[in-house]
Chain A
Amino acid sequence: MDLRAEGLSHAYDGMSVLEGIDLSIPAGRILCLVGPSGCGKSTLLRILGGLEQADAGRVEQVGEPPEGCLNPLTYVFQDFALLPWRSVAGNIRLGLEEHRLAAGQADAIVADVLARTNLTDFADALPRQLSGGMKQRVAIARALAVNPAVMLLDEPLSALDAQTRELLMEDLIGLWTRQPFTAVYVTHNLAEAVRLGHSIAVLSRRPGRIREVVHLDKPLADRIHMDADLEETQEYLWTLMREEARAADAELLNV
């Protein structure tokens, strides 16, 4: 299933945040969204997944979601959004409970995603007992459990330290390589964008418009840490963003 956005515009209390966004996310690919602070990335992601209504434009699902997909558009949030009163397994089960699954099937799915995210030993732990990196792995496991057609990730790694980020990045790449998923990945971090994105959309400062979409053909599995090609793309992205970021920064000061 592809996801397509046409002419999205949005304003908050008369302040235009997004203007004329056209995007298309083909199945099995990861689109990274980068842009200066406050340019409307999170807003765009909320609109793409139906958590917010755009003032203009439409978002379409093209084609049917894959077999066994329980929740076509599934989020991974920056602040994890785990239910603190549920165990790891209980959190992962949340999205499954809404569906009438055959007896034992939910347990099988939970066991499977726990294994895929290396969380099997922590099935009964409560969120407060987990580190930030583990919490985000639980959130990723929870998203994988519903077998989404498109995963929507809003800066999933920004609340984590650099080492944990690197580990989780490898996890994400591993998960994608074994079983490609479709994703929109919002990030501040250009290094993450070039590691994970098949295409990278650069947004301008507020009101956010698509400045350019950069495509990267190198397979995800071959993109190693501090790869020269990637550095080059990253440098290019930074030149695109530099003035925008500076201008956005100055604007925030003048509010």
Chain B
Amino acid sequence: MSDAVARQVPFRGGGFRPRSIRWVGVVVFAVLVLLAEWGTRTGWISSLTLPRPSDVLKTFGELWTSGMLMKHLVPSLTRLVVGATLGVSVGVSVGILIGLFTYVRSGLVPVVAALFPIPKIALLPLFVIWFGIDEGSKYALIAFGTFTPTVVATYGAVDNVDRTLIRMGQSFGLGWVSIVRKIVLPGAMPGILSGLRISLAIAIILLVAAEMLGAEYGIGAYILEAGALYDLERLFAGVAILSVLGIVVSSVIGLVERRLLRWRA
């Protein structure tokens, strides 16, 4: 017994718990940009395939100093905010109704399933006729595009709310409105917020699509014009703005999550 070999029990409980370390992302970006810079400078990447990052930066600087950046950014952001707010708020409301009422669920789930796969861009001409060539059709396109994923995420989240908590609410005599406001909504919030990440990314994609039609100013219009002229520096400057927009939206949601979901450990 005493002369048996003693081996330490190996640790095998690690992993499966990713955290996010901010500087790693920054480093990855920096490495990619430096790689492109190095490749284009040495001629390893031809200037036809990829613009030089430093040139893109210069173009961006011109955009900034000429004041054109704001001229393009402001209408784009307005469209994004108005369209996404409309789509998300209607989407969350409809999603909650689907999550709570048998007839709404039976009636609307097939409709949403039918609407979801339609490329909303294909409907742009229709939107122009319905809502006019001006801002109306652009708002509608973005709203419609964010609506469907928001609905699906929301009713899934409501379905996942712990029923025992709802029974508990009823057992304390809470009214319907109180149960929705104090139990269903907070309980569905994690699912709604992660759905929002997807919906808002889709909103940015559709922003460019919306500006394909009759927009003088806007990031989308700027990118399309640059594309038509094969001006890669401006094209990439515009694309970079969209990416930054994506990162900003995602970190804003992250912030909201940290505030609203503090209870989740």
Contact = CB atoms under 8 A, between A and B. Distances in A.
Interface of A: 49, 51, 70-71, 73-75, 77, 79, 81, 83-86, 94-95, 97-98, 126-128, 142, 146
Contacts of B183: 83
A95 B172 contact: yes
Contacts of B174: 94-95, 98
B186 A97 contact: no
Interface of B: 164-165, 167-175, 178, 182-183, 186-187, 261-265
B114 to A, nearest CB: 33
A3 to B, nearest CB: 15
A114 to B, nearest CB: 17
Contacts of B168: 75, 77, 81
20 contacts: A51-B171, A71-B171, A73-B171, A74-B172, A77-B168, A81-B165, A81-B168, A83-B183, A84-B264, A85-B186, A85-B187, A94-B169, A94-B182, A95-B174, A97-B178, A98-B172, A98-B174, A98-B178, A126-B262, A146-B172
Contact of A98 (B165, B173, B262, B265): B173
A73 B164 CA distance: 17
A74 B264 CA distance: 27
A79 B167 CA distance: 12
Contacts of A85: 186-187, 261, 263
Contact of B167 (A51, A84, A98): A51
A75 B164 contact: no
Nearest to A127: B263
Determine the main DSSP class of A at the interface with B. Answer: loop
B30 to A, nearest CB: 38
B171 A126 contact: no
**Chain B contact residues, majority secondary structure:** helix
Contacts, number: 53
Nearest to B170: A51
Contacts of B186: 83, 85
A49 B173 CA distance: 11
A45 to B, nearest CB: 11
B168 to A, nearest CB: 4
Contacts of B175: 98
Q: Name, among B165, B171, B174, B183, the residue most crowded by chain A CB atoms within 10 Å (CB to CB).
A: B171
Contacts of B167: 51, 81
A97 B173 CA distance: 10
A189 to B, nearest CB: 21
A74 B183 CA distance: 18
B172 A83 contact: no
A94 B172 CA distance: 8
Contacts of A77: 164, 168
B170 A71 contact: no
B173 A128 contact: no
Given A51-B167, A74-B171, A75-B171, 13 more contacts: A49-B171, A71-B171, A77-B168, A79-B164, A83-B165, A85-B261, A94-B174, A95-B173, A97-B178, A97-B182, A127-B263, A128-B265, A142-B172
A184 B184 CA distance: 29
A86 B167 CA distance: 17
Contacts of A79: 164
A73 B173 CA distance: 9
Contacts of A81: 164-165, 167-168
Residue with the highest number of chain A CB atoms closer than 10 Å, among B169, B172, B173, B187:
B172
Given A94-B172, A95-B173, A126-B263, A83 B164 contact: no
A127 B164 CA distance: 16
A83 B264 contact: no
Contacts of A74: 171-172
Contacts of B164: 77, 79, 81
Contact of A128 (B169, B182, B263): B263
A77 B168 CA distance: 8
Nearest to B167: A51
A124 B186 CA distance: 18
A146 B265 CA distance: 29
A126 to B, nearest CB: 5
Contacts of A97: 178, 182
Contacts of A98: 172-175, 178
Contacts of B265: 128
A86 to B, nearest CB: 8
Nearest to B263: A85
A51 B169 CA distance: 11
A104 B9 CA distance: 58
Contacts of B178: 97-98
B158 to A, nearest CB: 15
